[in-house]
Amino acid sequence: MGCTSCATGTDGQPKGCKNNGTCGTDGCNKLTVFDWLSNMSLPASMEPFKGVEVRFKNGRKHFYFNSENLTLSIGDIVATEAASGHDIGIVTLTGELVRVQMKKKKENPNPDVLPKIYRKASQKDIDIWQKVRDREADVQKRSREIAIRLGLKMKISDVEFQGDASKVVFYYTAEERVDFRELIKEFARTFNTRIEMKQVGFRQEAARLGGIGSCGRELCCSTWLTDFRSVNTSAARYQQLSLNPQKLAGQCGKLKCCLNYELDTYLDALEGFPKSDVKLATEKGMAICQKTDIFKGLLWYAYEREAMNWHQLSLEKVNEIIAINKKGKKVASLEEFIEETIVPDKELFSNVVGQDSLTRFDRPKQKRNNKRRSKGQGKRTHTANKPQRQNKPKRQNQPQGQKATENNNQTGTATKSRNRPKRKPQGQPKSQGQNKPQGQNKSQASNKPKGATQQKSRNRKPPNNAK
């Protein structure tokens, strides 16, 4: 919601009129009206209706009589009649739809009763109007400070200047009666204008201020809802909602108006269901209703002595048991009326990666795996950077017995190393294509006699192709 003059600029601040949605131009206001009869012409013998709907600040609307026969269209700024002086407003509706709206709101269409439209607003009128509109935020702040200083239990929610700057209206909310006689004297002394105090309800306050609801959209009361119906907790009970005041309350602190939207549908669906206080008489005892699923047509009952053991019954079976009980008979048990529910074998959707979670990007990243990876990479780089150790020269003058013992020790260590998990030697790097250290492989190969290798090669079987 916003026109070209109210849209935000490069720095994020509203530009143009600086009202950001309440400047009054066409398509940039609350409670926008679409004239769906604008393209239709009236019969020749019928005169157009001279009633006009004019909107003021924050969706406040009144009906006026076009006595001067001005050619008005939606979006025109006009000067209207007021209690003293004149006021500036924007035309929101003309023609026959005004008659329909007046009939809906039970307004008298008599031209003698309706206030009049003087003229289209001149540039001077618009300049004065815009000047006093810019003062409203400062006046609201100073008025709240004065009310707090006087110790009054009230909240000034909005301030509205008249178009000619001759009067200012203070909208406030209070739970108790407030004696604001001293407050009016202080306001008149500070602002040098006529003061009018108007008390509004909490719902009207939310409609004037606007905001975003729990559904993520703009408030209904500030965009399209004009009449406020009473909302009771019974509406939440019929819809089987949890009676949590924090979830059921809206921006105004009262019960949400949207609780009444689907109430009629739920009441129609509950006509075929028995009341929750109706008990089922069985030979095992009385069964009490624990839960109801309106859309699936299922009910859950439990015995009085077994409150934790619920039995799922369909609506038809429950009505059948109630009909039997009305005849003065009891059924054997609830287990006889339980129907087997078919569970689908294949899941239509599986949340494997967590793509349906709205808070998946808010979770902190796990650093354990990264630490492990970094440690492994550090070891690799550390071992790679170390120089290769040269093998020590062999002793030539060793006796044969000593060589045999050394060979036995080497074979024993080799078997032990096979059973143990392989570890990378810190002091020796990897050889190409081999996991064992270079020194050990060379020593083992040198200790084997040459004759044994030649004998093995001779004893090998020839391939199958050889004849």
Q: With contact defined as beta carbons under 8 Å apart, do 79 and 118 qualify?
A: yes
Domain boundary among 216, 237, 271: 271
Cα gap 254→176, rounded to integer Å = 17
Q: Are residue 254 and residue 312 in the same domain, yes or no?
A: no
189 and 140 inside one domain:
yes
Residue 40 or 139, more confident:
139
Q: How confident is the model at residue 337 (pLDDT cuts 50, 70, 90)?
A: confident
Does some domain include residue 318?
yes
Please tell me which residue, 434 or 308, carries the higher pLDDT value: 308
CA Rg, the chain, in Å? 44
Q: Of 32-41, 298-307, 405-414, which range is least confident? A: 405-414
Residue 1 has pLDDT above 80, yes or no: no
Residues in the chain, how many?
467
Given pLDDT bands bounded at 50, 70 and 90, which one contains residue 240? confident
| 105 shares a domain with 73 | yes
Burial of 324 (0-12, 13-18, 19+ CB in 10 A): middle
Q: Burial level of 297, CB count in 10 A (0-12/13-18/19+)?
A: middle
CA separation for the pair 395, 446 (Å, rounded): 12
- Pick the residue with more confidence: 62 or 345? 62
> What tokens were used for 409?
């020790």
Which of 271, 299, 325 is the last residue before a domain boundary? 271
* Whole-number pLDDT of residue 426: 52
Q: What is the mean pLDDT of residues 164-180?
A: 91
Any domain includes 424: no
CA distance 87 to 56: 9
pLDDT digits (tens, 9 = 90+) for 67-86: 888 999 888 999 999 988 89
Say how far apart CA 65 and CA 51 lie, in whole Å.
Answer: 5
Tell me which of 17 and 203 has the higher pLDDT.
203
Asked if 186 contacts 157 with a C-beta cutoff of 8 angstroms, the reply is no
- 137 & 105 share domain: no
Regarding whether 299 and 257 lie in a shared domain, the answer is no
| b/e burial code for range 207-230 (CB count within 10 A of at least 16 → b) | bbbbeebeeeebbbbbeeeeeeee
pLDDT one-digit tens code per residue, 185-226: 999 999 999 999 999 999 989 988 888 888 888 898 888 887
Report pLDDT digits (tens) over 412-455: 444 444 555 555 555 444 444 444 444 444 444 444 444 444 44
Residues with Cβ within 8 Å of residue 28, at least 6 apart in sequence: 1, 2, 3, 5, 6, 21, 22
334-344 average pLDDT score: 71
- What is the rounded CA–CA span in Å between residue 281 and residue 325? 6
pTM higher than 0.85 for the full model? no
| pLDDT cut 70: percent of the chain above it | 67
147 in a domain, yes or no? yes
User: Burial letters for 392-424: b for 16+ Cβ neighbours within 10 Å, e otherwise?
Assistant: eeeeeeeeeeeeeeeeeeeeeeeeeeeeeeeee
pLDDT (0 to 100) of residue 132:
92
Q: Averaged over 405-415, what is the pLDDT? A: 49
Beta bridge partners of 281: 286
- Whether residue 146 has pLDDT greater than 90: yes
What residue numbers bound the domain in which 238 lies?
229-271
User: Token match 């600040």: residue?
Assistant: 57
Is 175 domain-assigned? yes
Q: Are 265 and 282 in the same domain?
A: no
| Same domain, residue pair 108 and 177 | no
Q: What is the 3-state secondary structure (H, E, C) of the chain?
A: CCCCCCCECCCCCECCCCCCCCCCCCCCCCCCCCCCCCCCCCCCCCCCCCEEEEECHHHCEEEEECCCCCCCCCCCEEEEECCCCEEEEEEEEECHHHHHHHHHCCCCCCCCCCCEEEEECCHHHHHHHHHHHHHHHHHHHHHHHHHHHHCCCCEEEEEEECCCCCEEEEEEECCCCCCCHHHHHHHHHHHCCEEEEEECCHHHHHHHHCCECCCCCECHHHHCCCCCCCCCHHHHHHCCCCCCHHHHECCCCCECHHHHCCHHHHHHHHHHCCCCCCCEEECCEEEEEEEEECCCCEEEEEECCCCCCCEEEEHHHHHHHHHHHHCCCCECCHHHHCCCCCCCCCCCCCCCCCCCCCCCCCCCCCCHHHHHHHHHHHHHHHHHHCCCCCCCCCCCCCCHHHHHHHHHHHHHHHHHHHHCCCCCCCCCCCECCECCCHHHHHHHHHHCCHHHHHHHHHHCCCCCCCC
My answer on whether 132 and 203 are in the same domain is yes
Same domain, 111 and 133: no
**Is 313 domain-assigned?**
yes
Write the pLDDT tens digit of every residue in 347-382. Answer: 666 666 666 677 777 777 666 655 555 555 555 555
Same domain, 186 and 249: no
Going by C-alpha positions, the residue among 239, 252, 245, 60 that lies closest to residue 163 is 60
Pairing of strands 194-199, 167-173: parallel
Q: Are residues 321 and 260 in the same domain?
A: no
Q: What is the CATH number of the domain that holds 184?
A: 3.30.300
Is 106 within the bounds of a domain? yes
Question: Could you say which of 106, 121, 136 is where a domain stops?
Answer: 121
Task: Examine the domain organization and report whether 238 and 184 are in the same domain.
Answer: no
Q: Please state the domain count of the chain.
A: 5
Minimum mean pLDDT among 24-33, 237-246, 358-367, 378-387: which range? 378-387
In-domain check, residue 181: yes
For residue 223, what are the contacts with CB-CB under 8 A and spacing of at least 6? 30, 31
**140, pLDDT greater than 90:** yes
Q: Please report whether residue 372 resides in a domain.
A: no
Look at residue 331 in the predicted model and tell me its pLDDT: 87
Q: How far is CA 209 from CA 159, 163, 283, 422, 426, in A?
A: 11, 20, 61, 72, 72
Gap between the Cα atoms of 210 and 212, Å rounded: 7
Query: Cβ distance 94 to 74 under 8 Å?
Result: yes
